[in-house]
Amino acid sequence: MRRNTFSLVISLALAALIPASGNALSTTNSDKADLMLADMALSRGDCRGGTDRYIKAAQATSDAKISERANKVASDCQQIEASAKAARRWLKLDPTRTEAAAAVALAAVRLYRPAEAGDAILLTHTLGGDDALIKLIAELSDAGGSAITLNALRPVFEAPDVSDKLLTAGTDLALENFDFATAHKYADRLLVSEPASGDARAQLARVLTAEGNAVAAIAIAQEAAQLEPESQRFAFVDTLIRLDRLDEARQELDSLRADMSVRDEADLRLGKLAFQAGDMSEAGRRFGSLLSSPEVQGEAFFYLSSIAEREGRNDLALQGYSELLKADAGGLLVRGRAARLLMKRNDRKAAFELLDEYANKERSEALDVEFTKAALLEDLSSPNEAIALLQLALERYPNHPGVRMQIALIQDKAGNTRDSVRGFESLLKDRPEDASLLNALGYSLADRNQKLPRAEQLIRKALEASPDNPAFLDSLGWVRFRRGDVPGAMPYLERAYRIFPDPEIASHWGELLWVSGKQAEARAMWARALARSPDSKPLRATIERLTGTKMEEPAKQPAEPSSEPGAKPPADAAPQDEAPPEPAPTPSVTGS
């Protein structure tokens, strides 16, 4: 997996919303006042007001630059309906501009308008070629639009003259959409086109691993590493890890350590394996040894801080996260971690100030900050406060599907089924084919033994869009269990866990094993899941309910001195993609 650096994280931040000068846009006398008022609103933090003024100015002029600016402001401010309006206006005024077509596609995905999105995606390809399309695919995937994008581009990916780089993007897109059959088809075509390519083999190995074909995945990953020793040095190790063959992965990493050019990377991966297995002493030793390595010391420092938090040494963990923030490193991930520790100190004011500081600095992240606050409140068993906070956010982000979805999810977890179902149903009226919503409502009904036939129908419809999605497979297994079909439920839950070893999936699969008389298997599987996620409330609740044994709090393991984050991190390194999850990921409501 690609490792990002802190400098890259920071460099990806969006530009400030206020133009550098008053002459940045071409205006007429009639719209100058609106633009001035818009920039004044933005300068005082009124994103919605600034957006509304820009949209008004864009509609009143034929200057495409103002519509372009209005779209950027609206998009950065998460005013998705306004961004769609501005993007359409921009494309109308400048119909050959690739960026305008891409803006329409992105706004349509966020609003879940598949037909409009598909047309704009294809237009982007026509206007800008493969490179423009590949860039747009990444943006649409980040916006949760992998299903819409994949469906729109199937004719392009399956064309006889499709380029290799576009096939590569298509394989990645199909994998992200959990459509393994399509990913396999594209990966095979790519390998036929590039028979000597190690990169193509590595991609096929990812697909085979996802499908559970361990023998073929390992063989082709070994070929990839041999053919491309520079770019695919870790292809074999990554395959073993994805297959959960961790002892073999450790042995291979120990062998790779003999090469000084990759020793630090090997040690970093060994540290992560130990962390995920719950061996904090070994993880701390590995990460501590990397603090002098310029390439990986920032990431190692982050994990050392995470270890301190896992062990309950909250003051030390907060000190570590604070040092990372001083280095302007880690973005919302690290701020969320620090805020969580401040909340544990009952210092909500300091926690929220820390988050608001980031929102003021990075306006495009302001909504994610609200999601993070809500998650922190929910974690402290204050769901009503979390819901109230998001309802206030909904006033600033009118009709935003992500906010509406998160409110319904929190209501559902809090047991407020009537309101949560009403929220899901309301969203589905606007987004009837949205797989994430179909699954959310179906699972909610199944978990409460309500309307089980409809629940199963909703979940199966979600799986049509994303046939190998582990969350959807888990839901289908759970509804079959609720309907009394334990043998029929088992394969879905086992497959879901093999694809993604999530603790809640583990709790479901373990329960089926338990009621099937396979208590030893259930306990063994739960033990592995607890090592990965010792604080998982659903997992711990299931174990306590079925075993009748009150579980102890997660052990606070003593750490070696080398595991303490005693050195300041550099400003040019960051946690990898597989770092511990952020406190509150933006809810996806676009079917992927």
Other beta carbons within 10 angstroms of residue 425's beta carbon come to 12
Asked if residue 489 has pLDDT above 50, the reply is yes
Mean pLDDT of 131-158: 97
pLDDT of 553 reads 67
The pLDDT tens digits of the residues spanning 190-211 come to 999 999 999 999 999 999 999 9
pLDDT of 191 reads 96
26-35, 44-53, 320-329: which has the highest mean pLDDT?
320-329
Of 132, 134, 139, the residue nearest 168 (C-alpha): 134
Q: How many helices (H) does the chain have, and how many strands (E)? A: 31, 0
Q: What single-letter amino acid sits at 114?
A: P
Angle (CA) 343 502 451, round 5°: 100
Dist. CA 72–CA 70, nearest whole Å = 5
Mean pLDDT of 242-249: 93
Mean pLDDT of 27-33: 59
Radius of gyration in angstroms for the set of CA atoms belonging to the chain, rounded to a whole number: 25
- Quickly state the pLDDT bin for 579 (edges 50, 70, 90): very low
Instruction: Evaluate the CA torsion angle 21, 26, 32, 34 in order and state its sign.
Output: negative
- Quickly state the pLDDT bin for 28 (edges 50, 70, 90): low
Candidate from 32-41, 153-162, 180-189, 218-227 with smallest mean pLDDT:
32-41
Could you give the C-alpha distances from 434 to 95, 365, 505, 520, in angstroms and in order?
Answer: 29, 24, 22, 39
pLDDT of 44 reads 82
Dist. CA 361–CA 371, nearest whole Å = 17
pLDDT of 551 reads 76
pTM score = 0.85
pLDDT of 31 reads 62
Dist. CA 25–CA 36, nearest whole Å = 11
Could you tell me the two tokens for 500? 């993604």
Mean pLDDT of 340-349: 95
The DSSP code for 360 is H
Dist. CA 516–CA 417, nearest whole Å = 29
**81 in helix, strand or coil?**
helix
Dist. CA 270–CA 276, nearest whole Å = 10
* Residue bearing the bigger pLDDT, 21 or 51: 51
pLDDT of 32 reads 75
Secondary structure of the chain: what % helix, strand, coil (to 5)?
Answer: 70, 0, 30
Of 190, 119, 192, the residue nearest 149 (C-alpha): 119
Mean pLDDT of 397-426: 94
Of 469, 468, 513, 467, the residue nearest 489 (C-alpha): 513
pLDDT of 381 reads 87
Where would I find the H helices in 311-344?
A: 314-326, 331-344
pLDDT of 512 reads 95
Mean pLDDT of 253-272: 96
Strands annotated E in 137-240? none
Mean pLDDT of 137-164: 96
Chain mean pLDDT for the chain: 88
Angle (CA) 572 576 577, round 5°: 135
- Quickly state the pLDDT bin for 342 (edges 50, 70, 90): very high
Dist. CA 509–CA 95, nearest whole Å = 52
Q: Which helix (H) or strand (E) holds 520?
A: helix 519-532
Q: What single-letter amino acid sits at 289?
A: S
**Do 14 and 362 form a contact (C-beta atoms < 8 A)?**
yes
Q: What single-letter amino acid sits at 234?
A: F
Dist. CA 463–CA 484, nearest whole Å = 21
Question: How many alpha carbons fall within 13 Å on the CB side of residue 36?
Answer: 8
Asked if residue 69 has pLDDT above 70, the reply is yes
Angle between helix 235-242 and 246-256 (nearest 10): 160
Asked if residue 408 has pLDDT above 60, the reply is yes
The pLDDT tens digits of the residues spanning 522-576 come to 999 999 899 888 889 899 999 999 999 887 765 444 333 333 443 433 333 333 3
pLDDT of 280 reads 94
Dist. CA 592–CA 590, nearest whole Å = 6
Asked if residue 21 has pLDDT above 60, the reply is no
Could you tell me the two tokens for 539? 């997992």
Mean pLDDT of 51-77: 93
**Do 439 and 475 form a contact (C-beta atoms < 8 A)?**
yes
**Do 440 and 405 form a contact (C-beta atoms < 8 A)?**
yes
**Do 298 and 289 form a contact (C-beta atoms < 8 A)?**
no
Question: Which residue bears the tokens 């990493």?
Answer: 253
pLDDT of 30 reads 53
Where would I find the H helices in 12-79?
A: 29-43, 47-59, 64-76
